[in-house]
Structure 1
């Protein structure tokens, strides 16, 4: 598992910021009818959840893609921090203990991978799905709120996988 750096977290937060700025319809509009506008964030949020789970996979093709994406994001973010604003690159504090996915949890993440790939190619929300997955990969192992969300997500997928495959014991 690749460890996230400050640059990687910055890339994840930049993706989240850009998405929220593009989405924001204005205070009055949100006050009048929030549900349709909040629904527009759903593809990004679902893909973000997938990205967090993808970075928690410990091996295989999905884990390799997620680790490579995080490695590239770390590098890009570190370069942006050093050359863009004169900051310093460095390792981010990790989110602590990570719950590994069980066999059935991993199988569920594989099914989610199929859904994410098809949705990114066929849906009109393809850009939001790609950005959400990238953001989730960058923030899934961070020490912030997003990193702490990884444990409950992993537990939920592990339990859902056990129920789906009928391996409750």
Structure 2
């Protein structure tokens, strides 16, 4: 298992900061009509949740792709920390335990993968979806607040899988 490093978490937070700053409509606009502005965040947030899920012990091609993206992000972040600001790479910034996905939860992640790929290709929010998934992969197993979001996500997907596939079986 590859762990996210301080550099990988930094990359994830940079993606999040870039997206929020690009999205920010201004305080006046948010006070006036917040619905449409907050709605523009939804594709990023949903993709972020998907990215968190793919890194939670998902195997096969989806898990390998997520782990490769996390490894590359950690490497890039570590290089940026060392060569960009003269810092050090730091230790692993991962949580050591997390809630694994059940078989039915993994089936839901497979279904979500198809939906995310289709949405990224066909939607006008394709860029937001890709950035959200990348951010979720970087932050999904981090030891900070974003890592704690992975547990309720895993519980929700496991419940959904049990509910949907329990009704089918």
Same fold (TM over 0.5): yes
In structure 2, what is the equivalent of residue 117 of structure 1? 117
Q: Which moved more, 1:66-75 or 1:88-97?
A: 88-97
**Separation in 1, partners of 2:2, 2:157:** 21
TM-score by length of 2: 0.96
**Residue pairs, 1:1-169, within 5 angstroms:** 1-166=1-166
Displacement of 1:57 after TM fit? 2.9
**Separation in 2, partners of 1:59, 1:92:** 21
**SS of equivalent residue, structure 2 residue 94:** coil
- Structure 1 unaligned segments of length 5 or more: list them: none
**SS of equivalent residue, structure 1 residue 166:** helix
Displacement of 1:58 after TM fit? 3.5
Displacement of 1:2 after TM fit? 1.7
Render the CA deviation track for 1:28-53: whole Å, top value 9, x for unaligned: 11111111100000000000000000
Coordinate RMSD, CA, aligned = 1.3
* Number of residue pairs the alignment of both structures matches: 168
Render the CA deviation track for 1:69-94: whole Å, top value 9, x for unaligned: 00000000000000000010022332
TM-score by length of 1: 0.96
